[in-house]
Structure 1
Amino acid sequence: MKILNKLPKSKQSLHLDLINNGWVQMKEPKNVRSAILFSVPLMIVNVLISIGVINIFSTISLSDFGLTSDSISITINFGIILWLALLLILHELLHLIFIPNFKKSDKTFVGITLFGGFVITEEEMSKSRYIFITIAPFIIISVILPLILSVLGLLTPTIKFLILLNAMASSVDMLNLFLIMKQIPKHAILKSNGPDTYWKTQT
């Protein structure tokens, strides 16, 4: 595992090697900005799913976040900033820990950029494992966690805010899920070259 301060770039030599060996490059947004833009509808869907989950055992309203019909009250302090940092780390950690042998892998990269954190691995893996890695932060933080905390009576307004924020931040992950489901056959294997994804049917 390597820690970087920017997204790794795709390597032309690796691209040519993959293409010559029967790998197919997946059609994806060309950059992070485009991915965020295309994922906005999924951001809304994710938030609605999380709100629905929270409402099963608890309640959620605008007043939880300092918003009422006649006033807006938003407080930003060091505690909130710390929670946001921890959420970012947890989100990326949940991607990372499900990558096979990530500790020993010299093809797995983690880091933080202006647009948030990232985890990229150039290790080969099955489509099902790739999908699980992609959606793990959303499922665990924004679906399973609110259910558990609701039952325990620990779902505070701050935690609700963080759960919804994670749902929004997971929209690019959901876009990747949609692209994988649409373009890649069931029993294919996947491999990344920097931010680019390739697939190949297993023989």
Structure 2
Amino acid sequence: MSFLGGSEPEFDDENEFVSEHVPKPGAFLADRDVLAGEDHVAVHRHAADAFEEHGVYDATFGYNLARLNLDPRHPDAGFRYAEEADDPTTLRAEFTPTTAFCPQAEPLAVGAFRAFDAVADHGYDLVRVRVDPSLNGSEAVNDRLERLESGDGEVGDGGASDDDRADADPAGVDRTGAQDDDGAGGPTTPF
């Protein structure tokens, strides 16, 4: 039974790429070789593992965010991937939320970035995450993701914005799950 009381849809198999059930690549992936087929499935499997390990869940649907790609009810939402044209050690991941006004889009995209950043088994030196321009306010979200990616937006680095400081973990755990110098600990959710 679904979180909302209906029956669950028949999700696509996690080992299968169903092109009709994933979003079309957006501006962040333009002019790049977008992963499809087995290449997409392999990267997306690592995404699902990273999201599970770091608690990146869609609260509306009650599942690991990577499962959105497998949900036939939302064929225009989820993740698409491409390798950086001039650096195959860099992966681009573009997240398209289910609606243009998705209130979870920013925390989910930041959570996805932090989860990718926290694991190394995906085979890339860097994973760059952005939201699709279809999201209202995507420019601000993507600016934040770019700051996080460059290290300029991390809490405690002196360059963090007020918005990023507001996201600081009051339990004293940084984005990698390491404890602060005072030894305080707490949850290790990515956002």
Q: TM-score, normalised by structure 2?
A: 0.31
RCO greater where, 1 or 2, for CA within 8 Å and sep 6 or more? 1
Q: Larger % of helix: which?
A: 1
Q: TM-score, normalised by structure 1?
A: 0.30
